[in-house]
Structure 1
Amino acid sequence: MSKHDFTAAEFAARLVHVRAAMAARDLDWLVAVHPTSIHWLTGSDAKSYQEFQCLLVGARDEPLVVLTRQGEVHEFETDSAAGEVHGFGGGENEDPIAAFAGVARRHGVLGRRVGLEVPAYYLHPHHYLGLRAVIGDALVTEATELIAGLKLVKSPAEIGYIRRAAVLADLAMARFAGALAAGQSELALAGGIHDTLLRNGSGIAASPINLASGPRSAYSHGAPTARLLREGDFGNLEFGATFNRYTATIGRNFVLGKPTPRMSELHDIVLRASGAMIGAIRDGVPATVPHRAARAVIGEAGLEPYRVHTSGYALGPGFPPSWAEPLHMIGDSPHVLKAGMVVTIEPPVFIGAEGLGARIIDNVLVTPTGAEVLAQTPRDLIVG
């Protein structure tokens, strides 16, 4: 993604929404750290999330100010909507927090009411402590979900990008189904998926592919290995396709030859649980409701202990290691589904003692009256 992927008007509208949310919290400045926050406001696709970075957002008409490692300064200057870009480090080490202090003083951030994003993965504890020391008593709130919450409902342009990613995911799943055969390695099958995605215009997904077969099918996020598939294997697959960083995910179960009754049973359970979730989704529904619908199906089958993670989550543009947004469909979720959100449907059953696991993953667009499934790939068990 770059500043050219959306109109200037869309970027301006996003900033208006952020400033309104800041005003509601009585904030003068927001220090955004999460790469998707920086991406949403500036269009930057830079790899700067590997080191310290931040975006200073003023509550009034201040320019968007980026602080990033020196190697990404030119990219921000030419390919983002940032108004001002500062670099640190480069050929020699430099303390990024000292650089932040200088930029913050220059823009009058210190001494004002400041909110700070504290995102998982992207802010080192030492840098967090350094920011707290520099900002001091002016740090009045951790505003990690301020921008993230505004991003949950997608614009028509964003939904268009997700639809294009879903088409790419279908293409790659068809490649997998056509190549599935005994004697193929998990890695070779994964390579075919990546080949199809990249040749057809997908970017690199934020999270690695999951592909596990045989006894490894009980691994809920098993990476592909050199293991050769053999007749009778059951397995599960999940991957993401992207378009301008907007992600579509898909997951299916597969079998080499005729499935056993237990394999068919597990696949049927997660299929019915997924259907129950989709049937419960519409505008205004609490995120707990689809989760409870899936949980009821799995619980009635006596498999509640093997429902090992969330039933689904909101999906957006992603930077490694995750494409998930903060909304999760789980028992204590505070979120409400709204038209324009895109969420994953993936209630799981993974039984270590049996060496079996099943999960079907689809993305749905929340609509005023229900849910639109974005993938066209059948949800049946793939037989090789």
Structure 2
Amino acid sequence: MGRGDFPAAEFERRLGLVRGQMGARSLDSLVVIHPASIHWLTGSEAKSYQEFQCLIVGARESSPLVALVRAGEVHELETEARVDEVVGWGGGIAEDPIAAFEAVARRHGVLGGRVGLEVPGYYLHPHHYEALRDLIGADRLVDATLLVADLRMVKSPLELAYVREAARLADLGMQQFTAASPLGRSELELAGDIYGALLGAGSGIAASPINLVSGPRSAYSHGAPTERRLAVGDFGSIEFGATFKRYTSTIGRQFVLGRPTARMRELYDVVRAASDAMLAVIGDGVAAIEVHEAARQIIAAAGLDRYRVHLSGYGLGPSFPPSWAEPLHLLEGTSYTLRAGMVITVEPPVFIGEEGLGARIIDNVIVTDSGADLLSTVTRDLFEVA
């Protein structure tokens, strides 16, 4: 994605929403760290997130948007991003990025004011956080980790169009998997087929690698493909993401080579019923906890609650490695409310290590005023491969 993927008015609307939240929190400046937040505000896809990067947003409408990135990404941001100033650090020389930040912050009057800071888990080193806290002052530093992230969760019509295209591409990848018999082929070979189909059809590289498990590995909830060759009797699951202009859609399906055992069918039926229950509850204004509970109760009634080893779903948006998830998690304790325009995953799990079996179906939906708009057109039935 670049600044040309959205009209200028959409970027201006987003910046206006951010400044509105800054005003509500009495922030003079906001230091944005997460690459998805920077992407949403500027269109930048630059890989500076591998080192220190930030976008400085001033509270006043006249304040420039200032990006501080690795020297190697300066030209990319100048060309592709909607920013007023780009400053590079490091590159061919050793340089402390916090010293570079201090120079920029002093020049733009950031220091001495009340500053919001994003503190995402993957993209800000602890020693950089400590240096920023000491520089800005602990009494003036405000945790603003979710300020932009929460605003991003409700998608515009054009964003939703990009999500739908990503879902179309994900369906193509799953159709590639189901079109050819996996018998005797390795998990890695099958993953290669899917990646080839996705990239050949125009998908970008997804933020998180494919999960593909078979046989006793089907009990692994996030297992990467291996050299293991599929054999008759294998139960398994596959999950991957496709992207379009950084907007992600994921899909996951359950398969069996030959006829499923009674236990395999039972596990599949439980997660299918739990998924259906979630789909029936989703809608604008619904508490996220209600959606999670709809799945949890079905899994618990089947006596499998202790094998529900992770969340029932989460918010999904434009993504950068290593994750495509947004802050909304369908799990105990969530306080979010679903709003029309959100994109969420539906994926209640059952994984039983001692039995070497697991099952999960993964779908994405757009939350609408009247319910859930299911994005995939691929059957959600158990794939029984002859």
Normalised by the size of structure 1, how large is the TM-score?
0.99
User: C-alpha offsets along residues 14-57 of structure 1, whole Å, 9 cap, x if unaligned?
Assistant: 00000000000000100000000100000001111100000000
| Structure-1 separation of matches of 2:33 and 2:135 | 16
| Structure-2 separation of matches of 1:181 and 1:131 | 52
| Structure-2 separation of matches of 1:119 and 1:296 | 32
| Structure-2 separation of matches of 1:331 and 1:278 | 18
Tell me how far 1:92 sits from its aligned partner: 1.3
| Structure-2 separation of matches of 1:137 and 1:202 | 43
Q: Which amino acid aligns with 1:178?
A: A
Is it true that 1:18 corresponds to 2:21 in the alignment? no
Q: Describe the SS at the equivalent of 1:289.
A: helix
Is it true that 1:192 corresponds to 2:193 in the alignment? yes
Tell me how far 1:139 sits from its aligned partner: 3.0
User: C-alpha offsets along residues 265-324 of structure 1, whole Å, 9 cap, x if unaligned?
Assistant: 100100000000010100001100010000011000000000000100000000000000
Tell me how far 1:140 sits from its aligned partner: 3.3
Tell me how far 1:179 sits from its aligned partner: 2.0
Tell me how far 1:138 sits from its aligned partner: 5.7
Is it true that 1:2 corresponds to 2:30 in the alignment? no
Give the match for residue 63 of structure 2: 62
Equivalent pair of 1:70/1:90 in contact (CA under 8 Å): yes
Give the match for residue 53 of structure 2: 53
| Structure-1 separation of matches of 2:133 and 2:35 | 20
| Structure-2 separation of matches of 1:47 and 1:140 | 26
Q: Which amino acid aligns with 1:329?
A: L
Q: Which amino acid aligns with 1:63?
A: P
| Structure-2 separation of matches of 1:53 and 1:233 | 45
User: C-alpha offsets along residues 97-117 of structure 1, whole Å, 9 cap, x if unaligned?
Assistant: 000000000000000110000
Give the match for residue 257 of structure 1: 258
What percentage of residue pairs aligned between the two structures are identical? Answer: 65
Tell me how far 1:136 sits from its aligned partner: 1.1
Give the match for residue 141 of structure 2: 140
| Structure-1 separation of matches of 2:151 and 2:127 | 28
Where do 5+ consecutive residues of structure 2 fail to align?
Answer: none
Give the match for residue 379 of structure 2: 378
| Structure-2 separation of matches of 1:41 and 1:215 | 44
User: C-alpha offsets along residues 164-192 of structure 1, whole Å, 9 cap, x if unaligned?
Assistant: 00000001100001123210110010001
Q: Which amino acid aligns with 2:192?
A: G
Give the match for residue 223 of structure 2: 222
Is it true that 1:348 corresponds to 2:360 in the alignment? no
Give the match for residue 27 of structure 2: 27
Where do 5+ consecutive residues of structure 1 fail to align?
Answer: none
Give the match for residue 296 of structure 1: 297
Tell me how far 1:137 sits from its aligned partner: 4.2
Give the match for residue 232 of structure 1: 233
Q: Which amino acid aligns with 1:262?
A: R
Give the match for residue 122 of structure 2: 121
Give the match for residue 39 of structure 1: 39
1:66-215 alignment, distance < 5 Å: 66-137=67-138, 139-215=140-216
Q: Describe the SS at the equivalent of 1:188.
A: helix
> Where do 4+ consecutive residues of structure 1 move more than 4 Å?
none
Q: Which amino acid aligns with 1:284?
A: G
CA RMSD of aligned residues (A): 0.7
Q: Describe the SS at the equivalent of 2:137.
A: helix
